[in-house]
Amino acid sequence: MIAVAGGKGGSGKTTTSVGLARALSRRGAPVVVADADWDLPNTARLATATRDGDRSSAPTEERTVLDAVRDEGRLSPARSAPTVLAAPATPRRVDAQSVFQSLDETIPDDTPTLLDCPAGASPDAVAPLRDADRCLLVTPLDRAALRDATKTAAIARRLDCRPLGVVAVRAESVPEAVGELLGCPVLGRIPAAAPDPLSAPRVRSAYDRVAEALVDRYGADRWRIA
């Protein structure tokens, strides 16, 4: 599992989780994207609101992470579109740590799995980082966001969830110093597009490039990619 993490709310984690999941699906991978931000869940809502008729846009399933781990047998994601798992309806009654551990056991090892993480360094943010194999940092390039992303990267490393790279959002260019600051390579930049970035062709192409970089760097020998 890859934790999609950032330093603060509004940094682009959810958009990147959904956009990258769709990009991996366009490459023929059976993708799972799960909402790990249970206090402010938005992954399933964004995935539904930004359907555009593309085969990689409409989720094949709209279940919660609890549904996935409670079902008998292993999850079998389709290759035609990402499987989107929403947050539990009553998150405070659920132990997040055990849910993410069970989810990891439920999803096939060769399936790209993205966890849309909470912001910051709260216990809720730590839970998915603790169970993910690696993380992907997402940040705008303003000073405050980069400072917070640096803190998130440090926490992730302490939890043995090393960053695979950083995705710079709402950016037209990325200084080399960004990768040096965060201690990992820049896998791509996502240009600004309003009001619906996931419908913009250049944003979609940008996520395709990030997916290609992620596969080359991490998933080529791990994931089922057509």
Q: Which amino acid would we find at residue 13?
A: K
Residue in the structure block whose two tokens are 């990768």: 179
Task: Note the CATH architecture for domain 2-219.
Answer: 3-Layer(aba) Sandwich (3.40)
The confidence score (pLDDT) of residue 8 equals 79
What DSSP assignment string belongs to 150-209? HHHHHHHHHTT--EEEEEEES-S---HHHHHHHTS-EEEEE---SS-GGGSHHHHHHHHH
Residue 174's pLDDT is what? 97
Q: Whole-angstrom Cα distance, residue 188 to residue 210?
A: 5
pLDDT, averaged in runs of 10, over the chain (226 residues): 90 96 96 96 94 54 86 85 94 91 94 94 86 96 94 95 97 96 97 92 97 96 90
Q: What is the pLDDT of residue 71?
A: 81
d(CA 85, CA 66): 9
Q: What is the Rg, in whole angstroms, of the alpha carbon atoms belonging to the chain?
A: 16
Cβ-contact 189, 199 below 8 angstroms:
no
**33: Cβ contacts below 8 Å, ≥ 6 apart:** 17, 18, 21, 43, 47, 82, 83, 84, 85, 113, 114, 116
Residue 223: the pLDDT is 96
